[in-house]
Amino acid sequence: MAFQGSLKELPLPDIIQLVSVSGKTGAFQLTNGNEKGAIYLADGQIVHATVGDLEGEEAVYDLAIWPQGDFVFTPGEAASHTSVQKSNTNLLMEAARRIDEWQILSKRIPSTRLVPVFTANSSNSSVSFTPKEWSLIRRVDERRSIDEIAVGLGLSPFEACKTLYGLITSGLIELKEDLRRLDTERLRTMTPQQLRQLAQGIHEQARELLQNHPRQSELDGAYRQSAVEVDADRGADAILDLVRDEEKILSAALGPNQAKTFLNRVHSLLGAS
């Protein structure tokens, strides 16, 4: 018999512990708006997980911080392969640690789409680098984003940010804006009414992702500010500021992967406008 419910009522870590104690084999199918994920268990142990373009442990960590959504557990459904090696306890402990650690990292690194660049002081630095720092520095070309550097290093965005954080704190690296995916030229041709409609759509997407989260009210403040700026003829700049502000809030609250989901939705909205 399938077991189903709401993540708002029963968080994913609690659900997994419930099912794992019974030693069941099966699959959780999870949905949160347009987002879909899956976690497979064998004899109560997580063996495989997917969400978006993430697989394995990284997918579990991302799913563990969903503040809402629905789940269905289907007994007997087996995974196609194994992508998770850690025990359930270690996975959930690591997920909790990452949530706490990202609250610190996100104060310096609000988005993984930002581009690391060398500061003016970096050429005069005599700091010794760890092997991880040196590997990351070699990838900094002032064009690639944190996400792109992470892919090149075979790291998750979270792990890349952990290494990058020390380089930023020491004043060797800073982050520059990169909104290349958004059609900024098109924004500048839109009428005030079209911009107001776009701002509303962007805000609705952010609220959906952050629904029932304590920081949701911060999104409303960013949206109200953007409405004032659109009316003051700041147009495209007001929209870009709204995207930056709401992305930063989402990233701090839900982590970098959900912030990327938000940007994908903004990109789709702009294409459909």
CA atoms within a 13 Å half-sphere pointing along the CA-CB vector of 219: 27
pLDDT of residue 273: 53
Let me know: does 79 contact 39? Beta carbons within 8 Å. no
Q: Contact at 8 Å (CB) between 165 and 130?
A: no
Question: What structural domains does the chain harbor?
Answer: 3-96 (no CATH), 114-176 (1.10.10), 184-272 (no CATH)
Amino acid at site 252: A
**Do the Cβ atoms of 33 and 209 come closer than 8 Å?**
yes
Q: Rg of the chain's alpha carbons, rounded to an integer?
A: 20
Tell me what pLDDT residue 52 has: 82
List the one residue out of 180, 272, 187 whose CA is nearest residue 229. Answer: 187
| 26 bridge partner residues | 41, 75
Model-level pTM?
A: 0.76
Mean pLDDT of successive 10-residue segments in the chain (273 residues)?
Answer: 80 84 90 88 94 88 85 91 93 88 90 90 72 92 90 89 92 84 76 91 92 87 90 86 92 86 86 62
Strand partners for 38: 29, 50
pLDDT at 56: 93
In this predicted structure, what is the pLDDT of residue 272? 59
The pLDDT value recorded for residue 122 is 66
